[in-house]
Amino acid sequence: MDWCTTIVSLILGALLAFKIYLRLTIGWCKSQTCLVGKTTIVTGANTGIGFETALDFAKRGARVILACRDQKRADDARKKIIRETGNENVVVKLVDMASFESVRAFAKEINETEDRLDVLVNNAGMLGTGDKKSSDGLPLLMQVNHFSSFLLTNLLIGLLKKSTPSRIVNVSSMAAQYASKFDINTFDKHISDSTNYANSKLCNIFFTKELAKKLRGTGATTYSLHPGVVQTDIFNNARGLKTIVYFVFRLFAKTSEEGAQTTIYCSVAKGIEKFDGEHFSDCRRVEPYATTTPSDLPQKLWQKSQQIVGLKHDEIQF
């Protein structure tokens, strides 16, 4: 063997070993929890991690509300879930997380038509939106990834508290660890795609922490999580990186089913209430990122988010 063949063999061997290691360390939700008689909402449920989460809930017998922005994509997902699970209690309700008006209309309909809400999964998210703004004048990414989930959860708190033990699961990301310069005065402005994404995912973690404090003693609990690096549509907008990302993904990323496991775990696993407000990855509690940030930051984020989404006094249900 010449030196060139040796080096190529070593690289391929290392890649293969890394791939095997990744496969072996994926966390799988083994919980057998039955969700018959329970109602669940998954935002962004038509594809990726959200779709697999909704599919799992349907298999467990839940009423599943697919909270999506596009009627056709959502209907296709609904048909697929019903076909695969035989559970007909899967419905589509439209919500555009880029519009507070749409989030309010969605929450109003849920509050008026649903008797209970056992699990809310704030999953909808996006990446690489540049300096695009929402109809409310905020950076599109920040609104979809944080502000709308914050508003939606607040508007559904009454129903969640009525249905205890209930859970709110926030799909964050390890990208939160790159929000090292998170600034409460500028996080609602466009900075750059990567900074805004990292900030939005840190907001998911802070929101979860503060929400847990506010819900303590009610029987409703909340968790944030990193799903892993998952091969989904979210990277379609990742400008410039596409080819590399695609190559790396083909080799190493989780499938959507694998990527949904920690969301499912946080939604249904028994006995995790002691970790209320904490962060998960691969179906295990992990240390949160940004442990050095000031401890009043989650509270400040809550106050600022409340002001930005325009939550009125009579809408606060804590």
Ligand X SMILES: NC(=O)c1ccc[n+]([C@@H]2O[C@H](COP(=O)([O-])OP(=O)(O)OC[C@H]3O[C@@H](n4cnc5c(N)ncnc54)[C@H](OP(=O)(O)O)[C@@H]3O)[C@@H](O)[C@H]2O)c1
By CB under 6 A, name the one of 35, 38, 48, 120 that touches ligand X.
48
Which CB sits closer to ligand X, 163 or 260? 260
Binding mask 67-106 for ligand X (x = CB under 6 A): -xxx--x---------------------xxxx--------
- Burial (CB < 10 A; 0-12, 13-18, 19+), residue 252, is middle
125 binds ligand X (CB under 6 A): yes
Q: Which of 21, 178, 197, 289 is catalytic?
A: 197
Binding mask 176-215 for ligand X (x = CB under 6 A): ----------------------------------------
Count of residues that interact with ligand X, criterion CB under 6 A: 28
Rounded-to-integer distance, Cα 240 and Cα 181, Å: 24
44 binds ligand X (CB under 6 A): yes
Which CB sits closer to ligand X, 67 or 117? 67
**At what angle are helices 242-252 and 3-25 packed, to 10 degrees?**
70
Among 2-10, 109-117, 229-237, 284-292, the segment contacting ligand X (CB under 6 A): 229-237
Q: How far is the CB of 4 from ligand X (least distance, A)?
A: 34
Peptide bond into 227 cis (omega under 30): no
126 binds ligand X (CB under 6 A): yes
262 binds ligand X (CB under 6 A): no
Measured from the Cβ of residue 166, the count of other Cβ atoms closer than 10 Å reads 25
Rounded-to-integer distance, Cα 240 and Cα 79, Å: 35
By CB under 6 A, name the one of 184, 191, 229, 286 that touches ligand X.
229
Write out the two tokens for 201: 């995912």
Which CB sits closer to ligand X, 102 or 306? 102
Q: How far is the CB of 224 from ligand X (least distance, A)?
A: 11
Which CB sits closer to ligand X, 163 or 278? 278
Nearest CA to 19 among 252, 297, 283, 281?
252
**At what angle are helices 193-215 and 148-162 packed, to 10 degrees?**
20
Which CB sits closer to ligand X, 163 or 172? 172
Q: How far is the CB of 25 from ligand X (least distance, A)?
A: 16
Is 197 an annotated catalytic residue? Answer: yes
Rounded-to-integer distance, Cα 239 and Cα 246, Å: 12
Rounded-to-integer distance, Cα 148 and Cα 102, Å: 10
| b/e sequence 123-162, b meaning 16+ C-beta within 10 Å | bbbbbbbeeeebebebbbbbbbbbbbbbbbbbbbbebbbe
Binding mask 145-174 for ligand X (x = CB under 6 A): --------------------------x-x-
230 binds ligand X (CB under 6 A): yes
Secondary structure class of 65 (helix, strand, coil)? strand
CA dihedral 308, 44, 131, 184 (to 10 degrees): 40
Write out the two tokens for 80: 């697929």
Please give the positions annotated as active site.
197
What is the binding site for ligand X (CB under 6 A)?
Answer: 44, 46-50, 68-70, 73, 95-98, 123-126, 144, 171, 173, 226-227, 229-230, 232-234
